[in-house]
Amino acid sequence: MTEYIKDFDSWNEIQKNLNSSSKPKFFKKREIWWAAVGVNVGNEVDGKNEVFERPVLVIKKINATSAFVIPLTSTIRENDDRYVTYTIKGKKRSAMISQARMMDTRRFRRRMRSKMSNKDFRNILNCFKKQFSE
């Protein structure tokens, strides 16, 4: 297996462009967006491909330009409290609740057509609350 090398320099250039962007994004809770998550330190989740993006679930709208989000992954970890499994378009996926964070919406790239079901959304919220209330 090849070692993953974090490309902080490329991410820094993209981050500068994102910061100067001022296009407003109209978003709601329960929506899934592809967001430029970036290259992060240590075990923090990184984005993928040339713009370092990954899907995120909007948990709460903080204001017009920021949201509290949970990154999503196609990796399934059934017996791990940090991951909550859900189904979308007939495929199992996981929400990485331990990686939840506030995000400026300038990182949002494009909205996915599918919204998370109310049942899965409530389950993710309940698991998040349980994980961080202990």
Instruction: Tell me the pLDDT band of 118, cut-offs 50, 70 and 90.
Output: very high
For 73, the token pair is 């992954």
Per-residue DSSP letter, 44:
S
Instruction: Tell me the pLDDT band of 2, cut-offs 50, 70 and 90.
Output: low
Q: Which residues pair with 61 in a beta bridge?
A: 67
* Single pTM value for the model: 0.86
Quickly list DSSP for 48-105.
Answer: BTTTTEEEEEEEEEEETTEEEEEEEES---TT-TTEEEEEETTEEEEEEGGG-EEEEG
Q: What is the pLDDT of residues 8-37, one digit of tens each?
A: 777 777 778 877 887 778 999 999 999 988
pLDDT at residue 50, rounded to an integer: 77
**Between these two residues, 38 and 97, which has the higher pLDDT value?**
97
Using the predicted structure, report yes or no on whether residue 46 has a pLDDT greater than 70: no
Q: How far apart are the first and last CA of the chain?
A: 37
Q: What is the pLDDT of residues 52-91, one digit of tens each?
A: 799 999 999 999 999 999 999 888 887 888 889 999 888 9
The DSSP bridge pattern shows strands 32-36 and 91-96 to be: unpaired
pLDDT at residue 29, rounded to an integer: 93
pLDDT at residue 128, rounded to an integer: 92
* Separation CA 66–CA 64 (nearest Å): 6
Instruction: Tell me the pLDDT band of 103, cut-offs 50, 70 and 90.
Output: very high
| Cβ pair 111, 33 in contact under 8 A | yes
